[in-house]
Amino acid sequence: MKTHSHFFRVLIGLLIGIWMLPAATMAQDTSDNMKIVREKLLADRKLFVADNMELTEAEGKAFWPVYDEYVQDLQKLGAKGAYLIDDFARHYQDMTDAKAKDLLNQLMAYEAEYLGLRQDYLPKFRAAIPEKKVTRYYQVENKIRAIVNYELAGRIPLMK
């Protein structure tokens, strides 16, 4: 994978910024500024993926429509993740066992849904590009998610 540390830091910063916004705020905010930030995030993410995929023109024509559909579904799922973070933040100081159990159950369901989404798209990506490039794409996605999770782990305190 090519090293583009500045670009990657900007991309991750944008991802973290979007993830850290409360889901309710994301749903209600229709301001031009928020739209611009979202569009920039998606464009930067796509550029990062493109820069690391090394697709031929023919592969790109097959890959990008599947990618765009996947990212739309990923955004919907990301809103659930943002809601979980927001819910944790709202209850962090007065967390009960019942609320902790509820949050953990929601987190497990979210993780299962994320894995299910990746599995659902695997045949679509396999139909679009060669297997080695599908694997490479999933590696790129794993790297993005690992860094986002690392950043979130540093920002979200442990349960009291």
First-to-last alpha carbon distance for the chain, in angstroms, is 39
**pLDDT for 60:** 97
Q: Which has more pLDDT, 146 or 118? A: 118
Q: Examine residue 83 and state whether it is found in any structural domain, yes or no.
A: yes
Whether residue 46 has pLDDT greater than 80: yes
Cα–Cα distance, 157 to 153 (Å, whole number): 7
Q: Examine residue 27 and state whether it is found in any structural domain, yes or no.
A: yes
Whether residue 130 has pLDDT greater than 90: yes
Residues spanned by the domain of 95 = 5-155
**pLDDT for 31:** 61
CB atoms within 10 A of CB 130: 12
Q: Examine residue 120 and state whether it is found in any structural domain, yes or no.
A: yes
pLDDT average, residue stretch 129-148: 93
Q: Examine residue 160 and state whether it is found in any structural domain, yes or no.
A: no
Q: Examine residue 134 and state whether it is found in any structural domain, yes or no.
A: yes
Whether residue 97 has pLDDT greater than 90: yes
Q: Examine residue 84 and state whether it is found in any structural domain, yes or no.
A: yes
Q: In the chain, what percentage of residues exceed pLDDT 90?
A: 46
Q: Examine residue 144 and state whether it is found in any structural domain, yes or no.
A: yes
Q: Which has more pLDDT, 159 or 131? A: 131
**pLDDT for 7:** 53
**pLDDT for 146:** 85
Number of domains in the chain: 1
pLDDT average, residue stretch 36-45: 74
* pTM of structure: 0.76
Q: What is the pLDDT of residues 47-56, one digit of tens each?
A: 889 999 999 9
pLDDT average, residue stretch 27-37: 59
**pLDDT for 116:** 97
Cα–Cα distance, 100 to 15 (Å, whole number): 26
Whether residue 86 has pLDDT greater than 50: yes
**Inter-CA distances, 139 with 53, 100, 133, 136, 142, Å:** 10, 32, 9, 5, 5
Mean pLDDT of the chain: 82
Per-position b or e across 81-116, b if 16+ CB within 10 A of its CB = bbbbbbbbeeeeeeeeeeeeeebeebeeebeeebee
The two counts, helices (H) then strands (E), for the chain are 6, 0
